[in-house]
Amino acid sequence: MTFHTEPSIAEDSYIIPVELMLAKGSLLINGQQIRVGLIGTGNIGKIHLSGIAALKEAGLLNVEIVALCDIDHEVLQSAGDLFEVKKLYEDFKDLVNDDDVDVVYVCTPTNKHMDMVQAAARAKKQIFCEKPLAHSCPQARTLQAVTQDQGVNATVGLVLRFDQFLLYAKKLLQENDFGKPMLAHIRDDQRFPVDYSYYSKWRGEKALAGGGTLIEHSIHDIDILRWFFGEVETVFAKVSNFYGREVEDHASLIITHVDGKVSTLDSIWHWIDRPNERAIEFFFEKGYIGIRLESGKRYLEYHLKDQDPVRIWQENADIALIENLGLHSRNMSPEAVETITSVGTERYAALSYSFLSSIQTGQPLSPNFVDAVAAHRIVDAAYESANKDRQVDLL
Ligand SMILES: NC(=O)c1ccc[n+]([C@@H]2O[C@H](COP(=O)([O-])OP(=O)(O)OC[C@H]3O[C@@H](n4cnc5c(N)ncnc54)[C@H](O)[C@@H]3O)[C@@H](O)[C@H]2O)c1
C-alpha cells in the first residue's frame, strides 16, 4: 500500500521577522514573573527543570526557578548547581512556606504526593503534581477538594495531552468525517522501570508506588481513552504478576464509554531489552487513525474510507501542538519551536508552558485535578474488577 506523506512544513515558517527578533520580549506574556519551587529533583524533576529553564531561555515565559527540595543531599546539590538555584531545602515544608515561591512542582515518588500537595494548597501555592496523583481515587478526591477549598490552581502530569500526534488526531477528527467511533485500543509496553534507563527502586514497592504498570504508567493511557471516547460506564480487567514483584506487571482492560463506545488497553512491564513503545489505534465507521510513540519512530497514519492512507511525521504534527498552546510558529524563534516540540523534554515543556501561562492569564487549566480524579476512578475500578473477576459499573 502506498502512503502519501504530507509535505514538510516550509522552512520559512521558522524564520522570525526582524521586528520580532528585535522585540523578543513581545513573546513574553504580560504577567508578573512566576517563581517556581520544585520538590523531588530526581528523574522527572530534572526533566521539568530543563523544560522550565528552556521556556525562560527561549523568551516564552517570564519564569524563574527559585527553590529546590530533595531529601538526597547530593541529588539536590547537583540540581542546584545545574540550574543555578540558591535556595536548596531538604524539608519540603520549608519550600512550600517560602514566600518567594508562587508555584510548587511535586515530583517525588507517589506516596509523598498527599502530604506535599495538601501543604502546598494550604500555603496558597499554585500546584503542579506528577501523576499518579495518589494511590487511589478517594485520595485523589481529597487532593482535588483541598485545592478547590483553598482556591488554588492545580494541574497534573498527564503529559500525553501535549503529545503532538494525539493533538494532530484531535484536529483530524474535528476537520474530517470519520463517522461513528467503533473501537480504541492502546498497547503500552515498557521495560520494568526499576533498573533500566534510570534506577527507580521505589517503583517495585507497592507502599511507595501504589501499584504497577496500570496505575504507575498506564494511567496516561486511561486518560487518553477517556479524552477521546468520553466518560466511562463499565470496566472489566485482568491483572497479572508474572515476575512475583509486589506490583503487577500486566493489565488488560475492556472499557465501555458513553454511547456504547468501546476501548481496550493492554499494558505490560517486561524485562526485554527493546525500546518502550506505545501503539494507539482508533477505528471509526469511516476511517482509521494509528499512532506509534516512543519507539524511536514516531508517526501517525490515517486512512479515510475511499481515500489513500496518509502518514504524518513529527514535523507536521508539531503544528497541532503549537496551535493548541495558542502559539504561532511564524512568530517563534527556532529555539522556541525546539523548546516546545523537540523530543527529550518535549511534552513536559509544553505542559509547563500551558500550566504556567494559564496561571499568568487566568485561563482554566487542562488537564486539572478533576481529570486526574476521573482517571483514578477508572484505575480503581480496573483493580476491583480484576480482584472480583467481574465487570465493575461506574454509572
Ligand atoms: N508524567 C510522566 O510522564 C512521569 C514520568 C516519570 C515519573 N513520573 C512521576 O513522577 C514522580 C517521580 O518519579 P521519578 O521517576 O522522578 O522518581 P525518582 O526516584 O527519579 O525521583 C524522585 C526524587 O524524589 C526525592 N524524594 C523522595 N522523598 C522525598 C521527600 N520526602 N522530600 C523531597 N524529596 C524526596 C528522591 O530523593 C528523588 O530524588 C512519580 O510520581 C512518577 O510516577 C511521571
298-339 confidence digits (pLDDT tens) = 999 999 999 999 999 988 999 999 999 999 988 899 999 988
For cell 502559539, what's the residue? 327
Confidence of residue 196 (pLDDT cuts 50, 70, 90): low
Collapse the DSSP code of 341 into the 3-class scheme (helix H, G, I; strand E, B; otherwise coil) and give the result. Answer: helix
Q: What is the distance between the alpha carbons of residues 300 and 148, in angstroms, rounded to a whole number?
A: 38
Closest-CA residue, ligand 1 atom 30, reads: 71
Q: What pLDDT sits at residue 4?
A: 53
Average pLDDT over residues 258-264: 96
Phi, psi of 290 (to 5 degrees): -125, 140
286 versus 11: the higher-pLDDT residue is: 286
Smallest CA separation from ligand 1 atom 39, residue: 42
In the reported structure, the alpha carbon of residue 109 is separated from the centroid of ligand 1 by a whole-number distance in angstroms of 4
- What's the gap in Å between 348 CA and the centre of ligand 1? 15
168 CA to centre of own chain = 16
Relative to the CA of 157, which ligand 1 atom is closest?
Answer: 1
Q: Hey, whose CA ends up nearest to atom 3 of ligand 1?
A: 159
Q: What is the pLDDT of residue 194?
A: 81
**Euclidean distance between CA atoms 375 and 157, whole angstroms:** 12
C-alpha cell recorded at residue 19? 521586528
How many angstroms from the chain centroid is the CA of residue 199? 21
Cα separation of 323 and 167, whole Å? 9
Query: What is the CA(203)–ligand 1 centre distance, in A?
Result: 10
Helix-strand-coil split of the chain, %, nearest 5: 45, 25, 35
Task: With beta carbons less than 8 A apart as the criterion, state whether 43 and 200 touch.
Answer: yes
Pocket test for ligand 1, best of 38, 44, 220, 293 (most atoms within 8 A of CB): 44
Q: pLDDT at position 274, please?
A: 86
Contact 279, 186 (CB under 8 A): yes
Taking only the tens place, the pLDDT of each residue in 33-63 is 999 999 999 999 999 999 999 999 999 999 9
Q: How far is the CA of 110 from the centre of ligand 1 (A)?
A: 7
Question: Residue 252's pLDDT is what?
Answer: 98
Q: Which atom of ligand 1 is nearest to the CA of 45?
A: 16
Report CA(72)–ligand 1 centroid distance (Å): 12
Using CA atoms, how far apart are residues 264 and 225, in angstroms rounded to an integer? 9
Pocket mutation for ligand 1, best pick of 43, 116, 117 (most atoms within 8 Å of C-beta):
43
Question: What backbone torsions phi and psi does residue 306 show, to the nearest 5 degrees?
Answer: 65, 15
Mutate to test the pocket of ligand 1, among 92, 130, 269, 294 (most ligand atoms within 8 A of CB): 130
Where b means 16+ CB within 10 Å and e means fewer, 126-159 reads bbbbbbbbbbbbebbbbbbebbeebebbbbbbbb
> Could you report the per-residue pLDDT of 264-310, keeping only the tens digit for each?
999 999 989 888 899 999 999 999 999 999 767 899 999 999 999 99
Q: Supply the residue whose CA is at minimum distance from atom 37 of ligand 1.
A: 72
The rounded distance, in Å, linking the Cα atoms of 337 and 331 is 10
pLDDT tens figures, 85-94? 999 999 999 9
* pTM for this predicted structure: 0.92
Residue 92 to residue 70: CA distance in whole angstroms: 8
Please tell me the distance from the alpha carbon of residue 346 to that of residue 344, in angstroms, as a whole number: 5
Cα of 153 from ligand 1 centre, angstroms: 21
Q: How far is the CA of 296 from the centre of ligand 1 (A)?
A: 24
* Alpha carbons 248 and 245: distance in angstroms, whole number: 7
Task: Report residues whose beta carbon is within 6 angstroms of any ligand 1 atom.
Answer: 39-45, 69-72, 75, 92, 107-110, 112, 130-131, 157, 159, 198, 200, 202, 216
Contacts of residue 107, Cβ cutoff 8 Å, sequence gap at least 6 = 38, 39, 40, 41, 42, 44, 45, 48, 130
Cell numbers found for residue 346: 518535549
Residues 6+ apart with CB under 8 A from 33: 62, 63, 64
Pocket test for ligand 1, best of 108, 197, 206, 348 (most atoms within 8 A of CB): 108
What rounded mean pLDDT belongs to the chain?
90
- Give the whole-angstrom CA distance, residue 364 versus residue 325: 13
Question: Which residue is closest in CA terms to ligand 1's atom 27?
Answer: 108
Asked if 70 and 42 count as a contact pair (C-beta separation under 8 A), the reply is: yes
Q: How many whole angstroms separate alpha carbon 45 and alpha carbon 51?
A: 10
Q: Which cell goes with 311? A: 502518514
Domains in the chain, please, with CATH? 19-158 (3.40.50.720), 160-358+365-393 (3.30.360.10)
DSSP 244-309: --SS-SEEEEEEEEGGG-EEEEEEEEE---S--EEEEEEEETTEEEEEEESSS--EEEEEETTS--
Distance of CA 207 from the midpoint of ligand 1 (Å): 14
With cut-offs at 50, 70 and 90, classify the pLDDT of residue 395.
confident
Q: What is the mean pLDDT of residues 213-226?
A: 98
